[in-house]
Amino acid sequence: VVNNADGSKSASGSLSPSGSGDAGSSNTMKSVIASAMYSGCSVGMVLVNKSLASSYNHLIQGDLNILLVVFQAVAAVICVEFSKKMGWVDYPTFNVRTAQLWAPVNLLFCGMLFTGMASLEHNSVPMVTVFKNITNIMTTIGDCILYGATVEWLVMAAFGIMLAGAVMAAQNDADVTQTGLFWMLANCLCTSGYVLYLKFATKSVKLSKFGMVFYNNVLCTLFLFPVSVM
């Protein structure tokens, strides 16, 4: 604000176009880095889980798939708790009432993780990738039916391209057993059910993203650990 010659005041100056451009460039870079990190972690997790589920299940008594899910849930809880202690993230402390309200969501979450591990054990990675893309399409259709969401044609075209690419990649490795098909279909249903029910549950249970991570993995450990040691 500057004083004019007649004693009145007026605003002077404006946002620098270059400053606005720098902010936009910074946001784009953050998005690219986040996407790259997510892709790297996702691919790495699939490959590691496939190796463990296929190669070492015979070395232990019981089901290695359940034990791996429990280990991953414990690791996730440790990571978010450490991040909370460091002040990087924030979410409420454990509350029994909240856990009770969140339990139906978590049952689908547990099912999603377990069936995902089982499908990796009995199928090749390319075939699992095909069904993961089918899951995305199922979830989108469910969102339209249950919540009245609208989907742009470009999004549907992107789904089609991803599905076609996955099918082409798996065409030379398309052997599917009845057991493998069962677990893949179960994973599709659990994953779509989890995502769709989560949208409903978050209307009544207010949790941050890291709060969801905390409760999902704490409850997953409580539900599955007794099963893994039986």
* Whether pLDDT at 74 is above 90: yes
Interval 38-52 mean pLDDT: 78
Strands (E), the chain: 2-3, 9-10
Q: What is the DSSP letter of 223?
A: H
- Place 177 in a pLDDT band, splitting at 50, 70 and 90: confident
Running DSSP on this structure, what letter comes out for residue 149? Answer: -
pLDDT for res 22: 66
Average pLDDT over residues 5-34: 62
Closest alpha carbon to 131 in 105, 158, 170 = 170
3-class SS at 9?
A: strand
What are the pLDDT digits (tens) for 103-129?
Answer: 999 999 999 988 888 888 888 877 888
H or E stretch at 27: helix 17-55
Banded model confidence at residue 194, pLDDT cuts 50, 70, 90: very high
d(CA 104, CA 195): 12
Q: What is the pLDDT of residue 154?
A: 87
Residue of 95, 76, 113, 26 whose CA lies nearest to 209: 76
pTM (2 d.p.): 0.74
Report helix, strand and coil shares of the chain as percent, to nearest 5.
75, 0, 20
pLDDT of residue 55: 67
pLDDT band, very low/low/confident/very high, at 54 (cuts 50, 70, 90): low
Cα angle vertex 146, ends 145, 150, to 5°?
Answer: 55
Closest CA to 224 of 78, 107, 118, 81: 107
